Chains A and B, each alone.
Chain A
């Protein structure tokens, strides 16, 4: 049994005091403990941004890659050894901006990967530019006159792209978020977990207070998580009331399930010896 303390690293996060990322890190550690995972069989993969530091501060295997590319790296890891638990931490710029193409394709492939989208609706590490999830009208250092685009809706995109587990957490509710990460990771298939993660430095609109007043738990209502249409209408609810929790879950073969090469054992466990002689004969 791994203890929570064993997941702590000597190094401390570089995040701003009060940043929502601390809470997501806590929830992730709680989830690893709750699921009784062996830290040596977990790989946390990140791209670039404030979220991307996270793998450094949890004592599991980690891959801190480049901007937007956490999912391709994670895909390579998962396909090379599907026995590993692969968790991607990404931000709204990283996952919903520069890396959006990979997110869509990863969802339709139904890779057995958990994607945690640290969504603070702003670019933090580059000092406060507009993000793909910033609300229309957002005034930022790169949109001083207000953003004129409507935001990406990650959950709607997930539903449309074939993700089989779609949830939303809020950094201010660690127990709900822990529960979502546990469920999403135990789910066989691609789990998209979007997380409201207030940026205390750059986003003065979507603050902890803002969400505290608005969020409610879908699971306390009568939401049917297997109803695609009902989920579609729920993901567009964003106003005085904002739903969180599990929106949608369905079962479909994962990408690895459909690969006969992986039936017996993970790819990395295969012998490297190949007999090419019969194939060479074909060129005679």
Chain B
């Protein structure tokens, strides 16, 4: 008997595949278990093939897994595309009215469960409710109790769609009983654990919550997958928290609007993906030059151009580091999971205001939409830090005054007794355009010096695993959970490995990395892109060249077994 499951549901888009995945994840979370959600879907509203996977276990579930133990096939394509992912003892749940399972080479050891999903759904309501029936089936087959499911269905449809509650409960119940009455032998059983008061959340929502907690007041955003849920999150809660949320005419407007708002003194955010960020680049430079504290969230998807719009990649790191003409300081954060995304939401605005510069937060589709069960956020120690923000102007106030740390005291427009100009042109301490060589050098040095000061405050990357290891992995951002899962596997295989993870990628902290390079025999760089962008930045900053690299640019994130395989090949 195995006390985990890698659950997958697949079907045509428009049949509630994604929402049922979220519901099942929440269900597992309420049962004291840990779930990690990952999805694949094409850029369509209806039609096309959608899947959701949930990696559920007793211990923290940190990533997607390749091998599927339970497959719910709402159509034939699901079996066709995913048969090779199934474990020998996996269950396939399907409706023989949809297709003939005999067409496929399933293993004798696999459990084939033919259930009239459509008939049950239509009996209680509509065909679209097949997902709810499947949920009942899953809960039953995995040996869990129906009660939490009933509560979740109530919550999902409460309010506007009250009439859907009883029929969905009935459909789920019938699915549940169908399995219960059959006494099937399935190798995977989930055991209810003590409820740990956990939450099931993705990085977009986690970041948004952090941003709200840190006093976000203005959002200017143009919708773009996979960042759009931030716009709707903020719009949903704008009146609760008095946030002005503006869907702009384009991304150019979005970044310039938040720059105007930040200059006026409110914490301002835009969120986008690589395509939108491309349009924002000139505005990013304006924020840098005017020393306006803005936060730009960029959730990456594979490019160039439209690329693979609903898939994932860590392909925009170079772009984020070098975006814009000229030179100015910026901070780039790359939270590796929902917990770190929440922290980025909290801290990015403090960094932006303290150092008066643009902060870019890099996520990607995998974490932006990858819900996971985690501990409730801890923000007891968090304090809003607005840096050198003055409430009144001292005599002879100069907005861009030369200071020892490069940071000039800031007043907001409306402050009496003074005025100043924010200026995209090179300017003097007052903000007036000024092109002398002497002034240019001093202003450039002033701005760039902020980065040196900031770098000292940034945390070093975190080292996970064995202190002394023969093999060390180095990576950044969303590969975190995958590599941590791989480390657990490697430990079982008695391979001593550790992992240095960067969630602050620029400016680069080198100390721990240099130590690691000295200690480890072999160092493997892991990145979800094709040209090892982070490796090149490390090379440029430290001279380190990585001999061993594991890169993936298929539009999908790594699976832990791919990491394990690569590490074993280096041994």
Contact = CB atoms under 8 A, between A and B. Distances in A.
A and B: bona fide binding partners: yes
Interface of A: 11, 38-41, 43, 45, 48, 53, 55-56, 59-66, 69, 72-81, 83-84, 101-102, 104-105, 259-262, 267-268, 270-274, 276, 279-280, 283-284
B217 A80 contact: yes
Interface of B: 26, 29-30, 197-201, 205, 209, 212-215, 217-218, 220, 237-244, 246, 248-250, 252-254, 256-268, 282-283, 285-286, 290, 376-377, 379, 384, 412-425, 431-433
B241 A274 contact: yes
25 contacts: A43-B413, A62-B419, A62-B422, A62-B431, A64-B422, A64-B433, A65-B422, A66-B286, A69-B256, A69-B283, A72-B257, A76-B258, A76-B261, A77-B261, A79-B246, A80-B244, A81-B412, A81-B414, A102-B253, A260-B239, A261-B244, A268-B412, A270-B242, A284-B30, A284-B199
Nearest to B201: A283
Given A272-B384, A274-B212, A276-B209, A76 B260 contact: yes
Contact of B268 (A59, A76, A101): A76
Contacts of A65: 256, 259, 286, 422, 424
A53 B257 CA distance: 20
Contact of A268 (B199, B264, B417): B264
Contact of A69 (B200, B252, B268): B252
A280 B239 contact: no
A74 B242 CA distance: 20
Contacts of A62: 419-423, 431
Contacts of B215: 271-274
Given A274-B215, A284-B199, A83 B237 contact: no
B244 A40 contact: no
A63 B256 contact: no
A80 B218 contact: yes
Nearest to A105: B249
Contacts of B268: 76, 80
A76 B259 contact: yes
A166 B259 CA distance: 28
Nearest to B384: A272
Nearest to A68: B252
A130 B282 CA distance: 24
Contact of B265 (A268, A280, A284): A268
A81 B264 CA distance: 7
Contacts of B254: 72
A73 B259 contact: yes
Of listed A48, A83, A267, residue having the most chain B CB within 10 A: A267
B213 A76 contact: no
A78 B246 CA distance: 13
Contact of B421 (A55, A66, A74, A104): A55
B421 to A, nearest CB: 4
Given A39-B419, A79-B261, A267-B244, A66 B424 contact: yes
A73 to B, nearest CB: 4
A83 B412 CA distance: 13
Given A102-B249, A262-B244, 4 more contacts: A40-B418, A77-B413, A80-B260, A268-B414
Given A11-B432, A268-B412, A274-B212, A63 B239 contact: no
Contacts of B425: 64
A114 to B, nearest CB: 15
A63 B290 contact: yes
A283 B200 contact: yes
A84 B377 contact: no
A233 to B, nearest CB: 29
Given A60-B419, A267-B244, A72 B413 contact: no
Contact of A80 (B213, B238, B261): B261
Contact of B260 (A59, A73, A101, A262): A73
Of listed B197, B239, B246, residue having the most chain A CB within 10 A: B246
Contacts of A72: 220, 248, 252-254, 256-257, 260
B244 A259 contact: yes
A106 B301 CA distance: 31
A72 B220 CA distance: 10
A279 B255 CA distance: 27
Given A61-B413, A273-B215, A276-B212, A40 B419 contact: yes
B263 A63 contact: yes
Contact of A79 (B218, B419, B423): B218
A101 B283 contact: no
